[in-house]
Structure 1
Amino acid sequence: MTFMPDKETEELSILYANRSAALNHLQQYEDVLEDIRKCISLGYPRHLRYKVFERRARTLLVLKRNQEAISAFQDTITALDEANKFDKEKRQKMRTDSKLMLEILNKGLTLAGNPKDPEPLKRKPPKPKLPGKNNREYPAASDAIQIDYEESRGRFATATRDIKVGEMLLVEKPHSGVLLAEYSKTHCQHCFVKCPILVPCPKCPNVIFCSEKCLEAAQKSYHAYECHIVPLLWKSGCSVTCFIALRMITQNKKEYFTKIVSELDSKSSGVYKTDDYKNIYNLVSHEDKRTKQDFLHRTQMAAFLVKLLEVSGYFEGKPRSKPVDFDEIKSMAVDDKHKNDLALFGGLILKNLQVLQFNAHEVFELQCPRPKPGKNIIKHTGKSVFLAGAVFPTLALFNHSCEPSVVRYFCGPYIIIRAVKNINKGEEVSENYGPIFTTVPKEKRQAELKEQYWFDCNCIPCKDNWPTYQEMTENYMRFK
């Protein structure tokens, strides 16, 4: 389905119909209905429609949606008139059965339905919510924390009250995120969840989605312009961070940026919103500390990305209709009408690349191997797998500690942080950027943080040179 060159064909409608039959056997009834809806919209052959109409009717019965089932059985009877290739006796039997079901339903009798009472497959977990009150200024965070500022440390989070271990302190959707290329055929491009039942892009074979809702959201924003440039981005070897720098642009219309460009250097006042580009623009970028070589490297990447933006049709608001290749990029002359746009958006992408170096996060999922027959799954250890990169504006304000006070995990695209220890009122609420004292020696931690984040860590484990777990002896271990 993903690799079909033409996604608006009768052949594709038959594939959806066949998949609905398979899903029916798997008792994934909500997905059955969705595939039947899709196959009809794609022009499923009229002489075969009685099959999917009857399947829809019986699926609705299982889901106890009797009023809709009545309409579906009526559609089945009508469709049988066009089933000229269907065996006459079987056609008459189906007509009789459908009429009988209509009589029963119209009399208001309750049907037993499926004795197993199956639940539909949940493609994604529900949107997580903070259990208590949200911070008024930083709504992604709990009111148990506030964001403070010091000249030497920048912005950081502190506790407004005593926080108990396990408390949920932040739930945030990324401002922008990009799935890694190797998961483009197994996970949703929009929300990053695994796709047991994929929805292909109707215009390209490059990505998949978990639902029509995610497909529609992507097509209305970034994927409209990325659809035909994704393969070139992957072939170029650019990192996921570079791709995020581009998506931070493509997910909004050109007019959005031309409207706010004069306000970018002024920090937002009032509510700190996740979808406000100004909040990303004003995150730490260490522009004043960069070398000429660093600027040259990032400027070259920004020039490549803004050229892709131009060829995608973004500046005109008209997405291109065919894939782009390197030869087309190389042969493109500078279009005078795009000079101002190239300068503006090239500059924004360059800024994005600098900001993302210090503020992007990995998005990961926990994967557990399937146990061998007769083996207990508990004996198998799971592992965190790097799926995507993303930037979370509120979480980016939290400072690092080699002994963090929170842990982070993901629920679809949402990042969640919880306290891993009791935090007293007024204490800093810190996260971890990678190296942690329990497994990485001080010298290595300091070197990693200096190289990647350009700061010297002064957390307590670094100041007091705490030993790693492996270096500890029984004499140092104290539990209470």
Structure 2
Amino acid sequence: MPVKVKMDGLADSLFSQDGELSKLYSGIRSKINKEKLNQFPSLTAQQRLDWLVGSGAEFKVVPGESIKNLETALEYKEKGNEFFRKNNFGEAYQNYTKALQYCPVNLDNPPDPANKQYSIIWANRSAALDGAGLYAATIHDIDMALKFGYPRELWYKIYKRKGHALIKMKQYLEAREALEVSLKNIGRSDIKKEKDRDNYRMRVRKQMTVFNVTKTLYNTELNERSDSVLAAGKPEDRGLTSKLKICQDGARTKLQAEEDVLQEDVVLALDPYVAVVNVSGGRAGGKVCPHTLEKMFHPIPCRFGSEETFSSEKYRDEASESYHQYEWRILSTLSKVGLLEKGRLALRMITMIKPGDLKKVYDLVQKKKKVEEVEEGLRTPVKAFDLPVENVSGEESLLCSVLALYLTRCLSVSGYLDPASSRSNQELELFHLLYLAVLIALRYTRPIEILDVPKQKVGILDTEIVRDVCGFGIYPDIHQIQQSATGGNCDVIRWFVAKKLVLSSFRKIEKGSSIILFSGPGLSEPENKGPNDMITFRCGNELCTNSFPLKENTKEKIISCPLEDCRLKTNIWERLRLIQKLKKDFASAKEELERNEVTLARDILKDTIEEWDRIIIRPYKEVTQLEKVYVKSLLCDIGDHERNLVEGNQMGQIINMKKKPNIMPETEPAEQDTSLVKV
């Protein structure tokens, strides 16, 4: 008997409940009885495919076409102009971006006169960015306008804007060059009256007076992102620091420190095999590059004519040469049918494979050979297919089969499969690999996060650091490491540089000790064992392993170690006085953190924890509290650094203090440029 279908969490993680894929799956699920469902995982790919095709379900996919249309582009451009005149720079920027997406362009020949409108839209968007204070993005858009043949008679205006943005970015040498170009082009501009030309020259020269205060001009270097690549690690270590090693411990493996791991050491840094932007909510839509998962300030339109945008020409072209050339025609369809991130990751696992390599990957998987070991003959890495997918349930198998067939139909119309191909098994091979890809995505997908650290830290001690999910990725190299490094309380914090997963330690791990990188469900240890009023003091002899459990208000002053080879006397009274100082240091660190002195607070906390560990043995409630605040300070430091990169490198607000200080006076606010090109 057919069973009544109720969407479960498994299906919900692949497609939205109100989408067409959900309806397609529900219809198929209602036609399969329990006996057949239980048999589904043991069927061959051909048998699963035949059953789905015979079910009568409609798997039709209509490919999208290029959205390029000059008329639509000009409509968005005019909307942008209207918002700009009202000083609504955000809405103006959004409409100019839409205009760029729709505007036809000859990318192979940028100076082509047919690109005039395209160049003007770039220039107009640069004005909106300038008004919004995003000066690096302003310079980028001006350069794009010039690259695509911005009219020479308007150079005076755009170079003046570029000079203003460069001054704000403290790029004084380049700013002077830009303003000199503006001056030179006023004589050949579209300004008709000589009097008006003279007035414009005076405005530019007034802007250039900023350079008269010094004989030495320079360009301030931009802020750099903290290096998260492990200098000591090797490629075969799978992103793991050489300080750690996977060791056999009886029947199980463990991750062990080969040398001391210090506080704030980066112990793991990994790029995902595939990653996609969060499409189901969060801080991603339209703001994060789908190729790098970095924030976008000047989106670049898709080369082919989809609505996708990228953070730079370089990344757009990288995507266009690999997966994007097979995905762009089906992106709008995938959104309409409600395909979520795990399903898109499965699709990306396939589109990352060159079509000519598809059969080889299929053969390797069928022979159960380790794909990674024979990747030399492949043009793209496919190690994610080595991840184990055992104990597949009937429900899981049916769900993955339905989605695999739908995605097979998508790739059949997107250009991935050659319609002229004589190989009759090509679709079956693609279906089977997609089936595996969906299973892998279901089991191994990880969220990629952005730390949302408040700029003002007042009250930070009473709140949790917010982590916004901006994307999802599959990290195959973590699988073996996770099996060896999962336990109770973690010894590391997790953060991301774009889509690179970084784990860094927040406590010292001594050589020979095991280290926990991942918390397993239900494995958290209690914060403190034993009475809360007890302190376990270390013996004063650093080479001795003995310790003395005492109450906090103990009257003991001197304790002699009872061990024959030690006998050292430990001054407990002196240590109790030190503890009072350490508690004051802790209070001071919390005050500094709430005063936005994050680095100072972090350093105080780090030193205080080290001093505690020198005299006592954990667990102890004071150290536990210290460590929680220390972790929070580390996350704040990471979040603040990312914000400083944005504010400094996009808005010119932060100076790299290792470089020359700013010796230039503040420039006057730029005059509002309302003369956007309308042609």
Q: What is the TM-score normalised by the length of structure 1?
A: 0.72
Query: Which amino acid in the other structure matches residue 282 of structure 1?
Result: D
Higher Rg = 2
Secondary structure of 1:415's counterpart equals strand
Q: For 1:419 and 1:336, how far apart are their aligned partners in 2? A: 53
Tell me what 1:358 maps to: 443
Instruction: Specify which of 455, 463, 477 is matched with residue 394 of structure 1.
Output: 477
Q: For 1:218 and 1:36, how far apart are their aligned partners in 2? A: 24
**Is the contact between residue 135 and residue 145 of structure 1 (CA under 8 Å) also seen in structure 2?**
no
Cα distance 1:421–1:61, how it changes in 2: closer, same or farther (>3 A)?
Answer: closer
For the pair 1:51 / 2:157, whether they are aligned, the reply is: yes
For the pair 1:20 / 2:126, whether they are aligned, the reply is: yes
Give 1:429 deviation, angstroms: 3.8
Query: Which amino acid in the other structure matches residue 473 of structure 2?
Result: A
Q: For 1:185 and 1:192, how far apart are their aligned partners in 2? A: 11
Cα distance 1:98–1:423, how it changes in 2: closer, same or farther (>3 A)?
Answer: closer
Cα distance 1:352–1:430, how it changes in 2: closer, same or farther (>3 A)?
Answer: farther
Secondary structure of 2:496's counterpart equals strand
Instruction: Specify which of 402, 406, 412 is matched with residue 492 of structure 2.
Output: 406
Secondary structure of 2:98's counterpart equals coil
Q: For 1:184 and 1:71, how far apart are their aligned partners in 2? A: 37
Q: For 1:290 and 1:13, how far apart are their aligned partners in 2? A: 54
Q: For 1:96 and 1:421, how far apart are their aligned partners in 2? A: 61
Cα distance 1:95–1:475, how it changes in 2: closer, same or farther (>3 A)?
Answer: closer
Instruction: Specify which of 430, 443, 455 is matched with residue 345 of structure 1.
Output: 430
Over residues 127-151 of structure 1, what are the superposed CA-to-partner deviations in whole Å (9 max), with x where a residue is unaligned? 5222x41135225221122345799
Tell me what 1:210 maps to: 311
Give the gaps of 5 or more residues in structure 1: 317-333, 439-460, 462-466
Secondary structure of 1:298's counterpart equals helix
Give 1:163 deviation, angstroms: 2.6
**Is the contact between residue 270 and residue 475 of structure 2 (CA under 8 Å) also seen in structure 1?**
yes
**Is the contact between residue 347 and residue 407 of structure 2 (CA under 8 Å) also seen in structure 1?**
yes
**Is the contact between residue 135 and residue 143 of structure 1 (CA under 8 Å) also seen in structure 2?**
yes
Secondary structure of 1:227's counterpart equals helix
Q: How does 1:243-254 map to 2 (within 5 A)?
A: 243-254=344-355
**Is the contact between residue 125 and residue 412 of structure 1 (CA under 8 Å) also seen in structure 2?**
no
Tell me what 1:128 maps to: 228
Tell me what 1:90 maps to: 196
Greater Cα offset, 64-73 or 1-10: 64-73
Secondary structure of 1:229's counterpart equals helix
Tell me what 1:444 maps to: none
For the pair 1:304 / 2:442, whether they are aligned, the reply is: no
Q: For 2:473 and 2:193, how far apart are their aligned partners in 1? A: 56
Tell me what 2:267 maps to: 169
**Is the contact between residue 174 and residue 414 of structure 1 (CA under 8 Å) also seen in structure 2?**
yes
Over residues 230-280 of structure 1, what are the superposed CA-to-partner deviations in whole Å (9 max), with x where a residue is unaligned? 2222222233111111112223422344455555522545999xx973431
Q: How does 1:161-200 map to 2 (within 5 A)?
A: 161-181=259-279, 182=281, 183-200=284-301
Query: Which amino acid in the other structure matches residue 164 of structure 1?
Result: L
Secondary structure of 1:365's counterpart equals strand
Q: For 1:210 and 1:174, how far apart are their aligned partners in 2? A: 19
Query: Which amino acid in the other structure matches residue 388 of structure 1?
Result: G
**Is the contact between residue 299 and residue 311 of structure 2 (CA under 8 Å) also seen in structure 1?**
yes
Cα distance 1:45–1:197, how it changes in 2: closer, same or farther (>3 A)?
Answer: same
Tell me what 1:201 maps to: 302
Tell me what 1:415 maps to: 501
Give 1:92 deviation, angstroms: 4.0
Sequence identity percentage: 22
**Is the contact between residue 135 and residue 169 of structure 2 (CA under 8 Å) also seen in structure 1?**
yes
Query: Which amino acid in the other structure matches residue 432 of structure 1?
Result: F
Q: For 2:191 and 2:396, how far apart are their aligned partners in 1? A: 70
Aligned residues: 419
Q: For 2:266 and 2:375, how far apart are their aligned partners in 1? A: 20
**Is the contact between residue 137 and residue 271 of structure 1 (CA under 8 Å) also seen in structure 2?**
no
Secondary structure of 1:226's counterpart equals helix
Instruction: State the Cα RMSD in Å.
Output: 4.3
Q: How does 1:199-348 map to 2 (within 5 A)?
A: 199-204=300-305, 206-258=307-359, 261-263=362-364, 265-266=369-370, 268-269=372-373, 277-286=381-390, 289-316=391-418, 337=422, 339-348=424-433
**Is the contact between residue 487 and residue 523 of structure 2 (CA under 8 Å) also seen in structure 1?**
no
Secondary structure of 1:364's counterpart equals strand
Q: For 1:71 and 1:200, how far apart are their aligned partners in 2? A: 29
More helix by share: 2
Over residues 366-386 of structure 1, what are the superposed CA-to-partner deviations in whole Å (9 max), with x where a residue is unaligned? 224677xxx947476541112
Query: Which amino acid in the other structure matches residue 389 of structure 2?
Result: S
Give 1:472 deviation, angstroms: 10
Secondary structure of 1:206's counterpart equals coil
Q: For 1:310 and 1:223, how far apart are their aligned partners in 2? A: 15
For the pair 1:33 / 2:167, whether they are aligned, the reply is: no
Query: Which amino acid in the other structure matches residue 217 of structure 1?
Result: E
